[in-house]
Amino acid sequence: MSRHFLRDDDLSPAEQHEVLSLAASLKQAPYDSQSLAGPRTVATIYDKPTLRTQASFAAAIAELGGNPMMVDGTLAGIGKRESVADVARVLGRQASVIVWRTFAQTALEEMAEYAGVPVINALTDDFHPCQLLADLLTIRERKGELTGLAVAFVGDGACNMGNSWLLAGATAGLHVRIAAPAGHQPEEQFVARAREIGEQTGATAEVMTDPKAAADGADVVVTDTWVSMGREDEAADRLAAFSGYTVTSDLMSLASSDAIAMHCLPAYRGKEIDSDVLDGPQSVVWDEAENRRHAQKAIITWLLRGAEQTEEGLL
């Protein structure tokens, strides 16, 4: 049975630590892992727009000695032209790993059930766990330890990034405060799950409406677009709903004096974040983008090691 990375809490606290340490060491020595030597193929499928994810996976797979196979989500018509299960069974015979950006988390789970190889979530409506690995690596680089740091997530708390911050942050022992307007706060199930993980790690999860309360003394201030992919029809309503939730230099001044500002990108300057913050000295957004490659090399290598150990155990 392959392990998969479908949501942030698929890694235990110890496993997340191991993957982040591997990512940090691969950043120092980029060709030390040749886990895809052969080259072995990784199928990458994008049903939503992409820049960072496609570029960083292609580079990551190449640096691991592998072959990045692009499967055009539109041509494949997964779940429309052919069932998810049938696509999974076909791709699992061609590729050693499947990376998929899509809409429904349940479709990704179905892919994992039938693929026979590790499946990695490259963003769904519910989670963006590869981004969180890159973000946690970025925080580690700036702050050393993760445990006990306070993170303020300001904006659309009900999107994939809000959910992933709750789960990955709890796994890392962070204090995650989500400031979002009513109607855009995370589902209770994700807050409850973060608190459950926090019982082991010391993390806390709080949801509030006031961005200033969230930013107060925070070590990290993070935001994301107010209009996630697939929600373009709601753009006008969202612009109104999130008024007052922009990450401005005034908001940053309430955070710790050495706080960092994060954004997974693409960013809409003047909406969820002001230019002077995004392009200013506290911003670490380009490090986050670079760290996608290192983090994804680590999770691919880690999942393949697990798959090989399982196969050896079966022999």
Contact set with ligand NVA (CB under 6 A): 123, 128, 159-161, 224-225, 228-229, 264
Q: Is 128 a catalytic residue?
A: yes
Largest interatomic CA distance in the chain: 61
| Residues forming beta bridges with residue 221, ordered by sequence position | 152, 261
User: Judged by CB, which is closer to ligand NVA: 40, or 184?
Assistant: 184
User: Judged by CB, which is closer to ligand NVA: 219, or 288?
Assistant: 288
Q: Which of 51, 87, 59 is nearest to 229 (CA)?
A: 51
Output the smallest distance, CB 125 to ligand NVA, in A: 7
Output the smallest distance, CB 245 to ligand NVA, in A: 14
Q: Is 292 a catalytic residue?
A: yes
Burial 112-139 (b: 16+ CB within 10 A, else e): bebbbbbbbbbbbbbbbbbbbbbbbbbb
Whether 69 and 41 have beta carbons less than 8 Å apart is answered as yes
User: Judged by CB, which is closer to ligand NVA: 191, or 264?
Assistant: 264
Q: To which H or E segment does residue 214 belong?
A: helix 211-215
- Which among 131, 185, 282, 296 is annotated as catalytic? 131
Output the smallest distance, CB 161 to ligand NVA, in A: 5
User: Judged by CB, which is closer to ligand NVA: 9, or 224?
Assistant: 224
Q: Is 8 a catalytic residue?
A: no
State how beta strands 260-263 and 175-179 pair.
unpaired
Q: Under 8 Å CB-to-CB from 139, ≥6 apart: which residues?
A: 146, 149, 219, 220, 260, 262
User: Judged by CB, which is closer to ligand NVA: 229, or 254?
Assistant: 229
Output the smallest distance, CB 291 to ligand NVA, in A: 14
User: Judged by CB, which is closer to ligand NVA: 66, or 211?
Assistant: 211
- Which among 128, 175, 177, 263 is annotated as catalytic? 128
Output the smallest distance, CB 229 to ligand NVA, in A: 4
d(CA 157, CA 149): 19
Q: Is 125 a catalytic residue?
A: no
State how beta strands 97-101 and 119-121 pair.
parallel
Burial 16-29 (b: 16+ CB within 10 A, else e): bbebbebbbebbee
User: Judged by CB, which is closer to ligand NVA: 107, or 159?
Assistant: 159
d(CA 113, CA 4): 10
**Three-class DSSP category at 49:** coil
- Which among 52, 193, 264, 274 is annotated as catalytic? 264
Output the smallest distance, CB 230 to ligand NVA, in A: 7
Residue nearest to ligand NVA (CB): 228
Q: CA 34: distance to chain centroid? A: 23
Distances in whole angstroms, Cα of residue 121 to Cα of each of 156, 183, 240: 20, 26, 31
Output the smallest distance, CB 48 to ligand NVA, in A: 7
Catalytic residue set: 101, 128, 131, 224, 264, 292
